[in-house]
Amino acid sequence: MDTHERREETPGSAPELLRKAASGASRATACDDAYVPRSLWTEEPSARRPMADPVRTAAVRAVIITSLTLIQAMAAFLLSVAGSWLAFPTVLSSVASTVVATWSVLDVWVTRQVWNQRHGVVSVPSSTARQLRRERRRARRAARASAREASRIRRPGAGGLSGA
């Protein structure tokens, strides 16, 4: 639904008030309906779960470090082109910053994996499949046990401990 359609559907919107005025509705009624409190922000369901707080913190940290590293690399490049004495220390610190930025991006991935492992994010299809496999395994074991039992030759009176 587009914004234009939403505005037309909202009670008290301009097109609706104009229709009421044209149809002969009283001015007081049109003014009473004019103020309809609409929320500015409507929450829509998301297809994905929100990020966990530690993962979000690591991601924000990684973005900040990566952006600072890019700025520093650009400064190192410009200082190198200009032939400044600051070029060499800036290039060295840019290399170190690149290592730190790579580490911070890996930290996001590791934090996400640890969070999923510790807080038991279980996908329903895999747990359902696991349950079906267990049931099939039990059925196979029962079928093998009954086949083994049927294949045994049973003699009358055999199986007793006494010879009588």
What is the per-residue pLDDT for 45?
Answer: 78
Q: What's the confidence (pLDDT) of residue 8?
A: 54
- pTM here? 0.48
What is the chain's mean pLDDT, rounded? 80
Q: What is the mean pLDDT of residues 81-103?
A: 95
SS3 sequence of 38-80: CCCCCCCCCCCCCCCHHHHHHHHHHHHHHHHHHHHHHHHHHHH
Res 118: pLDDT = 85
